[in-house]
Amino acid sequence: MVDLDSHRIIDILNSRDKEPAIEWLRNYPNIEIVSRYGSQIYASAITEAHPKAIQIGYRFHLLKGLSEAVEKYMFRLFPPRVEIPATATIRTPEMQALLDTRNRAQQIYFTRTKYKGGLTINEIALLMHSSLY
């Protein structure tokens, strides 16, 4: 049990059962607001011990529930696999060689030649089917 104002631990109960929670809560008649996680046992204990107390969801569990709901929604909205169609079905021998990662020397030569020819880094990256990031 934690004081919401001071954020200090007040007590630790030995059980998660309803009766010990009711007994503990009744020792504090001034309780007006209780923050709790979704346990129906605690909800019932709070209602029985302090029927007029306002019960609110614990912030962590609210955010956890929200993030799980958003994740489920996103999985329904977007397919797990997105296929990107090829822009060109035929590659020139030069492009095939450049895409082959074993031809690093040829890639460097091609890049330097294009840069000296006036192309920007972004334009060269597009030619190389690469990204700067």
pLDDT tens digits along 42-95: 899 999 999 999 998 888 888 888 999 999 998 888 777 766 666 656 777 777
- pLDDT of 51 reads 94
37: pLDDT confidence band, cut at 50, 70 and 90? confident
**What sections of the chain are H helices per DSSP?**
18-26, 40-49, 59-77, 93-99, 104-116, 121-127
Q: How many residues make up the chain in this entry?
A: 133
- pLDDT of 82 reads 66
pLDDT tens digits along 21-36: 999 999 999 999 988 8
Rounded mean pLDDT, 8-12: 90
In one-letter notation, the amino acid at residue 68 is E
- pLDDT of 87 reads 64
Rounded mean pLDDT, 93-116: 80
For residue 37, the SS3 value is coil
Place of tokens 């059962």: 17
